[in-house]
Amino acid sequence: MMRTLLSTAAILAMGSAGLAAWQPAQGSDDIKLDLMASLHGRCTAIVVAGKEAACSPKAGVLVTRLKNNRTLVMIGMADGKSALTFVGEGPRTSAADLPDLRLSRVYVGSSPDAPHIDVDGACSLSRGPDGKALASLSCEAKDGAGARYSLQFETAGAPPDIQRF
């Protein structure tokens, strides 16, 4: 558990630009954490603004759901300082049942002042042959100019580490 908390803290530190996504959804002032889930595995592909990029070799994915129904999917980049964060809003579900999350924006970088990029896309989880274990996470989005943002992540087959708040 301590290792998971340290990994989570490291991802949050690298992806502080994603923290700007914690701004309340329109008409809401509730930005409290609901849950955080760490997915273990490996990044198989990442695309930022239409260009192939590299994930941190030790990167896991951090899924953070806020009480305002906003969900963040964040992965560390290879530079060890920045992150790619996909943001969407949707119904409250468990992290293990992340439905096709409709994406509305992306953040790239390490600055909490980084501007968001409006996108249209989705993130979804797929399960292994047993129907229970998580197999992969896929996020695909395009901005208004058609530039692509993508994450392909294969899980290690273990359930996510979940913290509820």
pLDDT tens digit string along 93-136? 555 556 678 999 999 998 878 889 999 999 998 887 877 778 89
Q: 165 lies in a domain?
A: no
- pLDDT given at position 160: 85
CA atoms within 13 A on the CB side of 12: 13
Higher pLDDT, 29 or 4: 29
Q: What is the pLDDT of residues 67-102, one digit of tens each?
A: 888 999 999 999 999 999 999 987 655 555 566 789
Task: Tell me if 24 sits within 8 A of 31, measured CB to CB.
Answer: yes
pTM of the model: 0.80
Q: What average pLDDT is seen over the chain?
A: 80
159: exposed, middle or buried (C-beta count within 10 Å: 0-12, 13-18, 19+)?
middle
Residue 164 lies inside a defined structural domain of this protein:
no
Residue 48: inside a domain, yes or no?
Answer: yes
Q: In terms of residue numbers, what domain contains 107?
A: 2-159
Report yes or no on 87 lying in a domain.
yes
Domain count, the chain: 1
